[in-house]
Structure 1
């Protein structure tokens, strides 16, 4: 049987093709690498590397051995890491709250990538409205919340922006503004906006249902809607309008609601939040998995 240091030296030299770099990588002397490889070659009965004063290259036998040995060695390393994770409590279930089909489809892909990063972990998804998502996060019943920004709360930590989409305005299908190709923020002064519950963070309410246009004209306050279905029902009934992201056109089409671009308005941004006192290596791994999937990593 090969010993661990022999396998590590052989595979590292197969990649580095340089005794000095291999020694630096494994934190041993160059002489130790040379001795280990010679000992392995005596055991095999044939040279594994062709050496000259300028270069090191694997022989055909050496290349074949590396190709067959590397997957098995990586599997051994992964098994040891999983055992260490279990022994140190680094396995478990990460709970993520979200709302809506677009977010659900996105998070399914993130969860798969998360499990690749942390094989001992599972990620479960739970649908809840914004107020409930924040309550669940504060109560420790979920570990992460996927939500629209801004959500500026002292105990919640927003992660990087993962999704950015154009801001639209949901209008009653028969409203005059619905006949236009686009709507400007100043034109919102002529129609009430659905009012969000007081339990929704003020930063989000101010962004989504401002009291004034950019020029300072007052925007009427409409009836209250606590869920997206309630909001769109109020819009469809002709009682108000509501700004939201462009994905609503695809996932929430209604004959009584028309979506129009809100030109000049900032985009709607989405990200993951965690509680300031409960950041873990698992929540960080989920953040990174999302950035990898969406191509937003630095």
Structure 2
């Protein structure tokens, strides 16, 4: 199998048709170019160039090899350049996703701080449904997501906790729980519980029979709760950002706080992603 250097030398000589100019482009000696081409021709078994004292020309086999090889070689080179650029984190686009208004507001503040450090990097925001979080991360649709924790998986990296908030239960305005000042975890067993498709170990433990709506977004789940089809565990910020006349938010007094943080694929932990996570951690450490 030819080596990368042999193919690069062959394509550069096919462009220049001059050993000296090819050597200058590759920063090697003319003798090295000649040796590399002879080695490649021995591998293939036929001459790729005709050489005289006055000119260098491609043979028919050489011309066909250029036609077949050049597009793929250019594509590989471009892919490597993009990987280097992404790893350095200097330019390009960082795609961040959020699931609701509060998350979008937090990420907008993080992006402002991040752009001060990386002015050449553009931040692109995407709104994501719970069922899309894992596919988007694993398929490269986005680079990083603000999600409820833990979102444990061997192929994902979780940044520091950015937000901790009390848990509430969203129920229909006319539900008996709406007249209570609070509920407990044990009360979850008394009502049908709604949840999205994202993993939630706490709900798995305390509401294992919860009805999971794989494609449902937040507004759809709140509508179901308001229609009396179930109770929806949410974070405290939902009460502030999504007040609805058909929904009452009741605190769950003995539930652990809900945690939020940034999650990204381990395979794409670029400097851009790490820099964004650092900016987020610094922002939430500052006094409000």
TM-score bin (small chain): 0.5 to 0.7
Classify the secondary structure of the residue corresponding to 2:221: helix
Q: Aligned ranges for residues 133-212 of structure 1 at < 5 Å?
A: 133-197=133-197, 200-201=198-199, 204=200, 206-207=201-202, 209-210=203-204, 212=206
Match among 213, 222, 235 for residue 224 of structure 1: 213
Partner Cα separation in structure 2 for residue 187 and residue 211 of structure 1: 14
Alpha-carbon spacing, 1:164–1:195, altered in 2? closer, same or farther (3 Å): closer
Alpha-carbon spacing, 1:187–1:89, altered in 2? closer, same or farther (3 Å): closer
Classify the secondary structure of the residue corresponding to 1:177: helix
| Mapped pair 1:258 → 2:248 | yes
* Aligned 8 A contact 1:171 1:235 in 2: yes
CA distances 1:132-175 after superposition (whole Å, capped 9, x unpaired): 12211111121111111121112111111001111111111111
Moved segments of 4+, more than 2 Å: 209-213, 219-225
Q: Which runs of 5+ in 2 are unaligned?
A: 1-84
CA distances 1:237-264 after superposition (whole Å, capped 9, x unpaired): 1111011100111111111110011101
Aligned to 1:276: 266
Classify the secondary structure of the residue corresponding to 2:268: coil
Alpha-carbon spacing, 1:139–1:247, altered in 2? closer, same or farther (3 Å): same
TM-score by length of 1: 0.63
Aligned to 1:248: 238
* Aligned 8 A contact 1:98 1:147 in 2: yes
Partner Cα separation in structure 2 for residue 267 and residue 243 of structure 1: 12
Aligned to 2:278: 288
* Aligned 8 A contact 2:89 2:271 in 1: no
Partner Cα separation in structure 2 for residue 211 and residue 91 of structure 1: 44
Alignment coverage as a number of residue pairs: 201
Q: Which runs of 5+ in 1 are unaligned?
A: 1-84, 214-218
Classify the secondary structure of the residue corresponding to 1:277: helix
Alpha-carbon spacing, 1:191–1:89, altered in 2? closer, same or farther (3 Å): closer
Partner Cα separation in structure 1 for residue 269 and residue 209 of structure 2: 40
* Aligned 8 A contact 1:134 1:145 in 2: no
